[in-house]
Structure 1
Amino acid sequence: MTNRVPDWLTPISWLYIALALLSAAAIAVDIYARHRRHTTVAEEVVWIASALYLGPFALPLYARHGRTTAQTTARTTARTTENDVAATTGQNHDQPTAVAGLPGGGASAIAHLVGVPLVLASGLTIAGIDLWVMIIVIGVLAMAFLFAYERAASERGRAVPVGAAVVAAVLTVLAFDIGMGGWMLLLHFNEFMPPASEGSFWFLMQVGIVLGLLTAYPVVSWLSRRHQTIAPA
């Protein structure tokens, strides 16, 4: 990968990455140390992961739509109904579409953290370019993570059939990749893709995830109206 990224982007990238990590830590502390637990760990991971790409902008979003009432008792393991979930978290499913898209963003963020090192270590390429493999691997991982989230949430009373969860994961990630994958290809073929060892690479991937949220918005909105996807209450 050729790197034509301007030098001034490097300090900005590391600053934003640091703020993203601090924001993710702040959400994690609020959930686990302050006992503001959610019904499933999957929901908690989605909110923490949102800060990995939204950075400090995730904090007001979490405070408004994701912060639960402090709980000092142990989490119940019994199956709950949808009304029980709403009562436990202080949330409901009338959350905005932007919030419903966060599981897809979180799945992509985690898929990048797993997939990029995996592809680089494997040395696999298509037509001599590792980017194609990277996009495919990240996409498949993101679908798997998003499907796992939908099923985990369904097991806690917010029923989404297996088939619907598969459809939601595939359609969401495909729409997401219009922005994310398109951004990666744009950077690569314009020689603005830095090595994965540089902070600017990961910052640009954070930008790509946000672009993916935008291109996936219509699909997530449609799925939400059909109750085939679950917002991270």
Structure 2
Amino acid sequence: MNVVWPVSALYFSVLAVWAYYRLGRKSGEHHGSKHDEPTAGQVAVGTSHCGAGCMLADVGAEFAIAAGGITLLGSVLLAEYAIDLAAAWALGIVFQYFAIQPMRKLPVGQALLAAMKADTLSILAFQVGMYGWMALTYFVLFPKPHLTPFEPGYWLMMQAGMICGFATSYPMNRFLIRKGWKEAM
């Protein structure tokens, strides 16, 4: 899934470009099994798949929420959390499906279940890091007026949040790869 690399560059900038040339341009060979200890690079690539789905979903959801004036229990932040999570989970499952299905050659239903098993905990871990940073941004760094998706500063804070999400999702991805629930890529 080469789309992962340019999307990862939205928050990791030149580090994502370096990672693509270092880790992402490998041949289609299978890089390990559930019994092998995953390398740091394999875990980073797996985490990047999760992060790319979260990034695309969050960007779309943030604009939709801001443009629509959507709140949850009177809070824009809670609406962002709920809608971002639902969108990130759905898109993350799609990304995982297209990573898993070609490697395992599973029927559609089994591949979707494998994708859900592989990415649900990863996405939750990613969103925890991002939500933590965005809560800090919302309540501490920019309490009034809050930044909105129509301001560049918001996206700088979201970029930092995505990096925090990558950091909190990395250990979960290592666990999922070790268990054999997620493919080492």
TM-score, normalising length: structure 2: 0.83
Contact between 1:144 and 1:169, CA under 8 Å: does it hold in 2? no
2:182 match:
229
Matched position secondary structure for 2:89: helix
Higher helix content, 1 or 2: 2
Q: Distance in 2 between matches of 1:142 and 1:159?
A: 25
Equivalence map 1:32-111=2 (5 Å): 43-68=1-26, 85-86=28-29, 92-93=31-32, 95-111=41-57
Residue 191 of structure 1: CA displacement?
5.0
Larger radius of gyration: 1
Contact between 2:96 and 2:115, CA under 8 Å: does it hold in 1? yes
Residue 127 of structure 1: CA displacement?
2.8
Residue 164 of structure 1: CA displacement?
3.1
2:73 match:
127
Q: Distance in 2 between matches of 1:230 and 1:204?
A: 31
Q: Distance in 1 between matches of 2:53 and 2:97?
A: 14
Q: Distance in 2 between matches of 1:217 and 1:96?
A: 10
Structure 1 alignment gaps of length 5 or more: 1-42, 70-84
Matched residue type, 1:128: G
Identity %: 30
Contact between 2:4 and 2:48, CA under 8 Å: does it hold in 1? yes
Contact between 2:24 and 2:45, CA under 8 Å: does it hold in 1? no
RMSD: 2.0
Matched residue type, 2:115: A
Matched residue type, 2:94: A
Residue 159 of structure 1: CA displacement?
5.2
Runs of 4+ in 1 over 4 A off after TM superposition: none
Residue 182 of structure 1: CA displacement?
1.1
Contact between 1:176 and 1:212, CA under 8 Å: does it hold in 2? yes
Contact between 1:150 and 1:230, CA under 8 Å: does it hold in 2? no
Matched residue type, 2:156: F
Structure 2 alignment gaps of length 5 or more: 33-37
Residue 197 of structure 1: CA displacement?
1.2
Residue 49 of structure 1: CA displacement?
0.7
Q: Distance in 1 between matches of 2:87 and 2:136?
A: 22
Contact between 2:100 and 2:115, CA under 8 Å: does it hold in 1? no
1:172 to 117, 122, 126: 122
Deviations 1:145-198 (A, max 9, x none): 111112112221335743332133221111112210111112111251422111
- Paired positions, count: 171
